[in-house]
Structure 1
Amino acid sequence: MNVRKIVTVVEEIRSEGGRPVSPPAKVAIVAAVIDNPWAGQGFVEDLGPGIDENASDLGALIAPLVIEALEEEPEAYGKAAIVGLDGEIEHGSALIHTLKFGDHFRKAANATTLLPAVEKRGPAGVLFDIPLKHITDATIRSHHQTVEVRIPDAPHPGEIVVALAAASQGRPQQRLAALSTEQ
């Protein structure tokens, strides 16, 4: 796995709707920009060897970094794979939709739910949203949120941006009733 760069972004929301957020709501994103392991090979029928060679190492690399950047216990999390224009969306999906990748983040976050995800193909600088859900109960509405990310020089056509995001709490000033009130 060739990692060109790692980008870390931490957002701290101190006010929402004209009111203070206390404690501030933090979201951390760590993105690794890697060479697409299937680039230049044409259509690859069996993605398994590339998954085996890269997914676990990638998860082991960035999962602890996002927890460290958040500096708090995460309550919500998500993931993304953004494939450069010379790759297939399936290449990004292959890396992030495996327990070899996701279990590193689940363990680091003490989480039990599946990680919500976004996958897409785009040019360098493409804007993407990472969906976040609660780490142990995906039906907790207060933690359904997204975080917007953009890396100006990535992905190059033969690269993939793989990102993890973690939030210290749900949406600031959330006021929706629990899902159970509608059932």
Structure 2
Amino acid sequence: MPEPKVRKFAITIEEIYHDGGKPVAEPLKKGAILAVVENPFAGSYHEEIEGFMKDLEPLGVEMARRLSEALGGKDAIEGYGKGAIVGQAGELEHGALWHVPGGYAMREILGDAKAIVPSTKKVGGPGTRLDVPVTHINASYVRSHFDAMEVGIGDAPRANEIVLALVMTTGARIHARVGGLKAADIKGEDGLR
């Protein structure tokens, strides 16, 4: 298949100083990068779609690089997630094509992150919002990093498009205090603990 046709990119960065508690000196940063791409399968059912995952790999790497740089560089990143919003002429499975290229791109850019990259997807029209789940990059059981970021673009996805999303954070929720495995105690053996 040909290279993905990108209509636009969007990057959003949040700096969070407090969430009702005492403000912190160094804010938590949450960022998302979105790419609006043409869906080559929109409008009809296609049995063979897997090849598009390979075509999306360079785009995933570019997006992961751009987002990590916008958040202060790869060493600043502690959490990640991914998602896709498929336009109404597509199907949910087209969003699943982002699992491999989006996840492996972040692992490549962040230097062998171990945890599975949480993901979500849906079908919707322009302006559809998506809550992208986030976990720690090296241990999925670190509760302080269980988070999400809402993403979307006002004019996307059009019926024949997919919005591809990557999300990264620089740390735990700003006032995390529900116990569980701490980031400092990660063993790094299996991506879970």
Q: TM-score, normalised by structure 2?
A: 0.86
1:15 to 2:18 alignment: yes
Where do 5+ consecutive residues of structure 2 fail to align?
183-193
**Retained in 2: the 8 A contact 1:83–1:160?**
yes
- Counterpart residue type for residue 171 of structure 2: Q
1:63 to 2:58 alignment: no
Where do 5+ consecutive residues of structure 1 fail to align?
none
Q: State the secondary structure of the residue aligned to 1:31.
A: strand
4+ residue runs over 6 A deviation: none
**Retained in 2: the 8 A contact 1:21–1:173?**
no
1:8 to partner: Cα distance: 0.3
**Retained in 1: the 8 A contact 2:82–2:102?**
no
**Retained in 1: the 8 A contact 2:61–2:109?**
no
Percent identical: 38
Distance 2:133 2:103 in 1: 15
Distance 2:51 2:144 in 1: 39
1:82 to 2:117 alignment: no
**Retained in 1: the 8 A contact 2:21–2:175?**
no
Aligned length: 176
Which residue number corresponds to residue 32 of structure 1?
35
Q: State the secondary structure of the residue aligned to 1:55.
A: helix
Q: Which has the higher strand share?
A: 1
Q: Deviations over 1:83-134 (max 9, x none)?
A: 001100100101x122x44222112123111110010001100111110000
**Retained in 1: the 8 A contact 2:90–2:159?**
yes
Trace 1:107-146 onto structure 2 (pairs within 5 A): 107-110=108-111, 111-146=113-148
1:9 to partner: Cα distance: 0.1
Which residue number corresponds to residue 46 of structure 2?
44
